[in-house]
Amino acid sequence: MVEDSNAPEQSSLSSDSISKSEKNTKIYFDTNQLYYIRRIAEESQGFEFGDYGWPNNPKLAQDIRALCYIVALQYEWDLDFCSSDASFAEVKLRVDRKAQDTRDAWVLFAKGLKEDQSLRHIPFLPDWPVSGHLSLEFIDDPADRVIVRHFASVGADVLLTSDDHILKHKERLAELNLTVMRPYEWLNDFLKELRGGEDAVDWLERILFGIRKG
C-alpha cells in the first residue's frame, strides 16, 4: 500500500454527505457481531482500524473490517445501535470463554447507548410456540428465530449478522419487511454514493489514512 497525496478531506465522511432519510439508521447486532466488537476493542490498541488478520474465512474478515468502521464512525454517520437484548440473552446462556468475553464486551458497549436503549434482561425462549408470519419456521435454528423476532419487534432498520443460517433466508425475510445483511454488504450500500466503484473499506482507509492499494 502507498500513501495517497490526493486523498479527499475527512469531512466527506460526515452524515451530511450521505444521502439518507431524516431519522437515524437503527442497527441491530446479531450475537456473533458482539464478539467481533470485543475483538476489535482489544486489537485496536496501537493498530490502525482494519488490521484484523485472525479470521480465516474471507467473508468473515470482510465483515469484521467493515464492522470496525461502523462502530468507530457511529456518530459521524448518525447511527443508532439497538440494545440487541435477545443477542445478549443468548450469550448469557453459554459458559465458554468466548461467551464470557462477549458478555463483558456487550455490557461495556451498552454503557454508550442512549438512555432509552439501555440493556434489558429478557428471557431467551427458542422453544416458545409462535404462530403467524413471525413463527419463522423456515429458519432451521430456533435460537436464530428468537434473534430475528426480537429484531423485528424493536423496529430496527437492519440486522447485521455473519451467520449464513440467517443470511440464506434474506430474500424471504425481505418479503416480511425485515432487512438482514452482512456488515460488509451494508457498509458498501451505505456509502454507495460516495465510494464510486471502490470497495467501501478500501475507500475509508484511503480517506482516513491517505493509503491506497497499489
Going by C-alpha positions, the residue among 141, 131, 128, 143 that lies closest to residue 86 is: 143
Q: For residue 3, give the 3-state DSSP assignment.
A: strand
Q: What is the DSSP letter of 181?
A: E
CB 117 within 8 A of CB 81: yes
Going by C-alpha positions, the residue among 160, 189, 179 that lies closest to residue 34 is: 160
Half-sphere exposure (Cβ direction) of 66: Cα atoms closer than 13 Å: 23
Residue 45 pLDDT: 53
Alpha-carbon distance of 162 to 44, in angstroms, equals: 21
Number of structural domains, the chain?
1
Residue 9 pLDDT: 46
Cα end-to-end distance, the chain, whole Å:
5
Q: Considering only 114-118, 146-150, 163-167, 195-199, which range has the smallest mean pLDDT?
A: 114-118
Q: Output 37 or 141, whichever has higher pLDDT.
A: 141
CB 66 within 8 A of CB 199: no
Could you read off the pLDDT of 185-205 as tens digits, one per residue? 999 999 999 999 999 999 998
Domain housing 151: 2-212
Please give the model's pTM, rounded to 2 decimal places: 0.76
Q: What is the mean pLDDT of the chain?
A: 75
